Amino acid sequence: MTAHPPTPDRTGPAAVVFDLDGVLLESEHLWEEFWTRYAARFSATWTPEDTGHVQGMSATEWSAYLADRVGNAEDAATVERAVVDDMIGALRAGRMEPYDGAVAMVREVAARVPVGLATSATRRIIDAVLERHGLTESFGATVSSAEVARGKPSPDVYLEAARRLGVDGADCVGVEDSSNGMRAAHAAGMTVVAIPNPTYPPKPDALALATRVADGVAGAHREILALLDGATTGASGAAR
């Protein structure tokens, strides 16, 4: 775990909490692929609207939705295991890679303030991803929405990440790409840095909750550093 020197005169946020899928990891399309594959096993159609509906949900929530979508042929636990197995297989096959610059961003931010992860991914995926990409030691807290009462857009996963880091939600930056994720981080009182996903664009009302809107990981990196430096406008000029 990264050690942080005392910063008694800090004017910026005390911690940064990242989402995983769509922020650090290029994986949203894989979730959709495997939800679609599972539905097809039972001659059901999984639509982009279904994907948008479940993005940010906990595994318990999306697996129950998918089970219902295919007619409850299998229980939610079986559905979750099948899809997560596919995701782990994709990771091992090299199909689940960080965005360019994402690892460097996390490491640089972690050298300055505590860093957390608040994600809808399961614990199996979190641990496997961080180990594979050498990020385990960068995070002071990692929380799956399966470990809290409610998934995104409820703030539970972000509040729990802040609690484990020992800071208030209002003293954190939350970095998100999806509508439900932005709503969750904002509801936790965090300053939201949005990286709008071009394939699964956030709803306008959710994007309006962001303090900074960044163009990809490089832009988010600059915005986060500007916030940590106490800057009133973003380094990339994308402040809202």
Q: Does domain 15-26+97-228 have CATH number 3.30.70.1290?
A: no
- Specify the DSSP class assigned to residue 21: B
Reduce the DSSP state of residue 203 to 3 states and report it.
coil
Contacts of 100 (CB under 8 A, 6+ apart): 217, 218
Please determine, for residue 150, whether its predicted confidence score (pLDDT) is greater than 80: yes
**pLDDT tens-digit readout, 184-236:** 999 999 999 999 988 889 999 999 999 999 999 999 999 999 999 986 555 44
Average pLDDT, whole number, for the chain? 91
What span, in angstroms and rounded, lies between the C-alpha atoms of 213 and 198?
Answer: 13
pTM: 0.86
- Specify the DSSP class assigned to residue 136: G
**What value does the mean pLDDT take over residues 108-116?**
98
**pLDDT tens-digit readout, 17-63:** 999 999 999 898 999 999 999 999 999 999 999 998 888 788 999 99
Alpha helix ranges (H) inside 76-215? 76-92, 102-110, 123-132, 156-165, 179-187, 204-207
